[in-house]
Chain A
Amino acid sequence: MTRMLEGVDRRALVLLAILLAALIAAPALANDYLITVLILILYFAYTGQAWNIMMGFAGQLSLGHAIYVGLGAYTSAALFVHFGLAPWLGLLAAVPVAMACGAVIGFLAFRFRVAGVYFAILTIAFAEFARIGFDHFRWVGAAAGLFLPVAQYVSSDLWTLRGRPIMFYYLILTMTAAAFVLCHLLLRSRLGYFWQAIREDEEAARALGIDTFRYKMIAVVISAGLTSLAGVFFAFYYNNLFPEQVFHISRSIELILGPIIGGVGTLFGPILGAFLLTGLAESLTEVLGFVGVEVPGAKQVFYGICLLFVIMLVPDGVWPWLARALRLDGKRS
């Protein structure tokens, strides 16, 4: 425990403790609508953290992370629908499937020296491939979708994940907190330093004797595995899966907006980004509804403009800027 906290700014810890306490206490004060918004925020904070391992830590830009969400979601949901297997058992299949997929993509890309923009486009290609493939995959409902039986929302069954939003809220909060701690530990491990060396200069890292292929593979596999857990959550929370939604490129994009806006490679970035972007989207809905603008697309235009301004004003993300302003960057998180 002490080793874990070593070198962490005390004020950052206080900030974290307050945030966690507020999130734990939130359901007591929040209405159902706010709970669903918070679930969405935490979902993006979690997936952003998982993506950040690959991009922020190891410097490999993936634009196709929807494939891991989708594989996790479809594997666990199909096992539940066809064999009644609880998600906690289903994830034992879902996570390895996503990890194997990540390993295949990583192996092909890194063995054949596909890097940079080409790597990013390769990840999009695999995700699109999966989207069209699942569109024709009859066993999981193809384009017509896969539906989970919806239970009566009187009691919550944690084992089969059938229940009320509050259960999903605490589940995703636990996942996000665990991912945060895991990323913190990874970043300070030997592995984390290897990743950062590769991110900064791959040639130099190789010259120092780091097996770059191996450590990039580990980054992809861990990131894919963690992301697939979000997929399992997604399936049981939303209860319906369509390839056109789950694997669509816009899913991959919205998943990475948070960490990039928040600050790539930082631990707080994905969380802050998720709060900012989801908060922005929801408040735009509110404001536009209040003013009486009900044109479809208006919200997205404002959202796009805000995105444009944020990335132009703070290109490194909001957290590094905020940390400097709050003088929390003495010890970079």
Chain B
Amino acid sequence: MPAEIYLNVAVGGALTGLVYGLMALGLSVIFGVVRVVNFAHGEMMTIAMYIAIVLFAAFKLDPFLMMLPIAAVLFAFGYLLQMGVINPFISRPEHSQFILLVAVALIIVNVLLIMFGPDARSVQTGYSFDSFAVGALIVDATKVYAGTAAVVAAAALFAFFRFTRLGQAIRACADNYAGALVVGLDVHRLYALTFGIGAACVGAAGAMLVVLMDVTPASGPAYTLLAFVIVITGGLGSMPGALIGGVLIGLTEALAGLLFTPSAKSMFAFAILVIVLLFRPQGIVGKRAA
């Protein structure tokens, strides 16, 4: 195989990885603040992907333009989920939270199955087969758009947490739960906002990813696992870590699919996860937690 193929696949994988990174960022934000592992994360992303498919099929609305509205819908979903279901569970043991979110995931997967059937769906835009050529390097246009959008979304989120009062209040909750209560922050509402923001991340990521790959109702759990792998590799709770982890896993999967068989590609992602957990449990960029 000529060397350019490796380069093309690697760049494509890294760009897809940025979208994975945005999805994982949502998981990381939720865990970092609410301290709940969202076992329905990938399933929430499939909701976003199906919304994008319906909007495109019915109104020819481009998924990239629909990114913000879809993120808003998912925000509402996440907000209500945290307010109605998860808030009473924040101080419960992990296995109780786990069952709760597994139940949510089960409902999502099967409601999607009832509504859309088991077949794979995708979106074919007018530019689906366009590509950019830089010298020998050829990259799909969709991947370039998606990767760029993911970086912009992540940067916006980063700015929100760094510079706005609300973002600072949420970080205060994450740093010191009791302290946040003492200074009079409405922690439950801030948790709901955080879960909503995390859900908005998967919403945006789902709208982009639907242009890059097919979706079935059953693909949710695999995305949940992928998000875990990325977030732990990059460092749970670290925002740049999620993007770096995403790129690393995207690259690994793309190259493993090329060099070995595509069906074994996620084995390499899990191998990276195990190695990171054992030798650098705080993740590549994370700070060592207690």
A contact set with B: CB distance below 8 Å: 55, 61, 63, 108, 112-114, 116-118, 120-122, 124-126, 128-129, 132-133, 135-136, 143, 249-250, 253, 256-257, 260-261, 264, 295-298, 300-301, 303-305, 307-308, 311-312, 315
One of A125, A128, A308 near B277 (C-beta < 8 A): A125
Asked if residues B106 and A304 are in contact (CB atoms below 8 Å), the reply is yes
B129 interfacial contact with A, CB 8 Å: no
- The answer to whether A128 and B263 touch across the interface, beta carbons within 8 angstroms, is no
B162 contacts A by Cβ under 8 Å: no
Which of A257, A260, A298, A315 contacts B114 (CB under 8 A)?
A298
> Chain A residues with Cβ under 8 A from B114's Cβ?
295-298, 301
Contact for B109 among A122, A125, A135, A300, CB less than 8 A: A300
* One of B1-9, B93-101, B148-156 at the interface: B93-101
Selected contact of B110 from candidates A108, A261, A301, A312, CB within 8 Å: A301
B102 touches A253 (CB 8 A): yes
> Is B277 a contact of A114 with CB atoms below 8 Å?
yes
The 8 A CB mask of B157-176 against A (1 = contact, 0 = none) is: 00000000000000000000
Compute how far the CA of A19 lies from the CA of B111 in the bound complex, rounded to whole angstroms. 37
How far does the alpha carbon of A129 sit from the alpha carbon of B273 in the complex, in Å? 10
A307 to B85, CA, bound (A): 13
Q: Assess the A308–B103 pair: CB atoms within 8 A.
A: yes
Is there a chain A Cβ closer than 8 Å to B228's Cβ?
Answer: yes
**How near does chain B come to A260, taking the closest CB pair, in angstroms?**
5
Chain-A contact segment, one of B44-52, B61-69, B207-215, B264-272:
B264-272
Inter-chain contact B279/A249, CB cutoff 8 Å: no
Residue of B nearest to A132 (CB): B267
Q: Which residues of A contact B225 (CB under 8 A)?
A: 124, 128, 249
- Is B145 close to A, CB under 8 A? no
Contacts of A297 in B (CB 8 A): 109-111, 113-114, 217
Q: How far is the CA of A163 from the CA of B253 in the complex (A)?
A: 45
Going nearest first, the 10 A-B pairs with the smallest beta carbon separation are A297-B113, A304-B106, A297-B110, A304-B107, A307-B103, A300-B110, A308-B103, A132-B267, A297-B114, A301-B110
Selected from B217, B266, B279, the residue in CB contact (under 8 A) with A128 is: B266
B221 in contact with A61 (CB, 8 Å): no
* A124 / chain B contacts, CB cutoff of 8 Å: 225, 228
B220-276 interface (Cβ within 8 A of A) = 221, 225, 228-229, 232, 261, 263-264, 266-267, 270-271, 273-274
The residue in chain B whose Cβ has the minimal distance to the Cβ of A306 is B103
Given contacts A114-B281, A116-B94, A315-B89, contact A296 B103 (CB under 8 A): no
**CB-CB < 8 A to A63: which residues of B?**
98
Q: Report which B residues bind A (CB closer than 8 A).
A: 31, 37, 85, 88-89, 92-96, 98-100, 102-107, 109-111, 113-114, 118, 217, 221, 225, 228-229, 232, 261, 263-264, 266-267, 270-271, 273-274, 277-279, 281
Q: How far is the CB of A293 from chain B (nearest CB, A)?
A: 10
Task: Decide if B99 touches A304 in the complex (CB within 8 Å).
Answer: no
Complexed CA–CA distance, A124 and B118 (Å): 25
Contact across chains for B106 and A296 when beta carbons are under 8 A apart: no
Could you say which of B96, B100, B277 contacts A121, with CB atoms under 8 Å apart? B277
Residue among B107, B225, B232 with max Cβ neighbours from chain A (10 Å):
B107
Interchain CB contact (< 8 A) of A112 among B99, B228, B232, B278 = B278
- Contact of A122 with B263 in the complex, beta carbons under 8 Å: no
Which residue among A108, A114, A116, A253 has the maximum number of chain B CB atoms within 10 Å of its CB?
A253
B110→A311 contact, CB < 8 A: no
Q: For A61, what are the chain B residues with a Cβ–Cβ distance below 8 Å?
A: 94-95, 98
Q: Which residue of A lies closest to B35 (CB)?
A: A117
Kindly state the separation between the CA atoms of A311 and B113 in the bound complex, as whole angstroms.
24
Which residues on A sit within 8 Å (CB–CB) of B111?
297, 301
B140 to chain A, nearest CB (A): 26
